[in-house]
Every structure is written in structure tokens, then in C-alpha cells.
Amino acid sequence: MLAEYSRKTRETNINISINGNGSGQSSISTGIGFFDHMLESLAKHSWLDIDLKAIGDTHIDDHHTVEDVGIVLGIALSQILYPVGAIERFGGAEIVMDEALISCQIDISNRPFLFFDLPLSGKVGTFDTELVEEFFRAFVQNSKISMHIYMIRGKNQHHIIEGAFKALAVAIRRARTKINLDIIPSTKGIL
């Protein structure tokens, strides 16, 4: 199960491939070091193999690149998720990163919704932490999942953000778990 997608605008040029039957391998290059680290964590803990190359107008700032990567990653993941087969559908994780504890719960619902409550401000290195919400919003809208992500406790911005990406990864992995019944996990019979 392989998904590929490309998006080229006047602001970004992004190519992605995702192997849905992977082992968490990744080759990530966005030109934004901290963001690459977060996406590598997402691949590793979701067990998705992700190959992503992004060139963006980072001479202006990182906003367009981060948001557009969320769009592209979401679209590629949706190619793997839908139509929904015999999977758990719901998945969640609470991830500890030192003093930080982050919860992420998802529903592979084909109905995008984001609840985001991570109290972020300032920068991690040169990365504007406000871009985390922009990434998750673009990702959720384009993967068509419902997601609640929030901090239970934490202080260190790096730990909070990394915990969030890892929590999403584990939630995706758990929600995609195959079940032994030949059913669609919905009372409607379709997602």
C-alpha cells in the first residue's frame, strides 16, 4: 500500500511517498531542522515509511512550508486510509517526554475536526511554535480524520511538541490496526 503525492505552488514544491506497510523508515528534508526531526518521529512511531522532500520560501519564514507539508502528508495518508476497511478506526496515545505528558485521540472518520490545546509560545531553536497548530490543522483537514490533541502537563516546548508528534504517530498506528472481521467499523456501513 503505497501513496504518492506532489504539490507545487509559488511558495512550495513538495513530493511525498508513504508506504503504509512500512517499519518507520524515513527520508525527510524540509529545510527546517526541528520540523524534520518531528516528522522523522512521526514516521518512526506510526510505522509508516515516509519519503518527503520540500522546498519552500523559508527565506520569508517557515509558515508556508510547514502548512503545505501538513496538506501533502494529509492527502497522501488519506490515500492509504480510505476507503476504510476492517480496522480499529479509533486510536489514541498518551506520550511521556520527560516532564511533558501529551494525549492524542483520533477517529479515522472521513470527517475532519481538530481540537488543539497545546500551550505553545515562542520558538524552539529557530522554529516558531505557533506553526505546530497550523501543521496539525492542515494535516487533519486533508487526511479527513478527527483529532483531539492536548497537553496534560508539561513545561519544555521541545518536549511538548515532540510528545504531540509521537502521540499522533502511535494513535495512527493503533487506529490502523487490522481486525479479524470483514466489517466496516461504522453503524452507517461506510466512512
DSSP 45-81: HHT-EEEEEEEE-TTT-SHHHHHHHHHHHHHHHHHHH
Per-residue pLDDT averaged across 70-86, rounded? Answer: 95
Task: Provide the pLDDT for residue 179.
Answer: 87
Indicate whether 60 belongs to any domain. Answer: yes
Question: Quick one: pLDDT at residue 49?
Answer: 98
Mean pLDDT value of segment 58-65 = 96
User: Does residue 33 belong to any structural domain of this protein?
Assistant: yes
The answer as to whether 183 is a domain residue is no
pLDDT for 186 equals 76
Percent over 70 (pLDDT), the chain: 99
Give pLDDT, residue 185. Answer: 72
- Specify the pLDDT at position 170: 98
| CA dist 66 → 22, 26, 53, 69, 102 (Å) | 24, 17, 12, 5, 21
What pLDDT score was predicted for residue 2? Answer: 96
| 191 part of a folded domain | no
The mean pLDDT value of the chain amounts to 96
CB-count exposure of residue 65 (10 Å: 0-12, 13-18, 19+): buried
Q: Are 45 and 24 a contacting pair, CB within 8 Å?
A: yes
CATH of the domain at 123: 3.30.230.40
Number of domains in the chain: 1
Q: Return the pLDDT at 112.
A: 98
Domain hosting 6: range is 2-175
Cell of 26: 524515513
Residue 108: inside a domain: yes
What is the rounded CA–CA span in Å between residue 151 and residue 119?
Answer: 8
Among 14, 57, 60, smallest CA distance to 39 is for 14
pTM: 0.95
Over the stretch 101-130, which tens digit does the pLDDT of each residue have? Answer: 999 999 999 999 999 999 999 999 999 999
What's the pLDDT band for 183 if we cut at 50, 70, 90?
confident
| Residue 182: predicted pLDDT | 75
What backbone phi and psi angles, to 5 degrees, belong to 90? -95, 140
Specify which residues 17 forms β-bridges with. Answer: 4, 51
pLDDT at 184: 73
104, 118, 132, 47 alpha-carbon torsion, rounded to 10°: -20
| pLDDT at res. 85 | 85
160 is a domain residue: yes
- For 19-36, write each residue's pLDDT tens digit: 999 999 999 999 999 999
Q: What is the pLDDT of residue 36?
A: 98
CA atoms within 13 A on the CB side of 74: 25
pLDDT of residue 21: 96
Q: Residue 64 falls within a domain, yes or no?
A: yes
pLDDT in tens, 155-169: 999 999 999 999 999
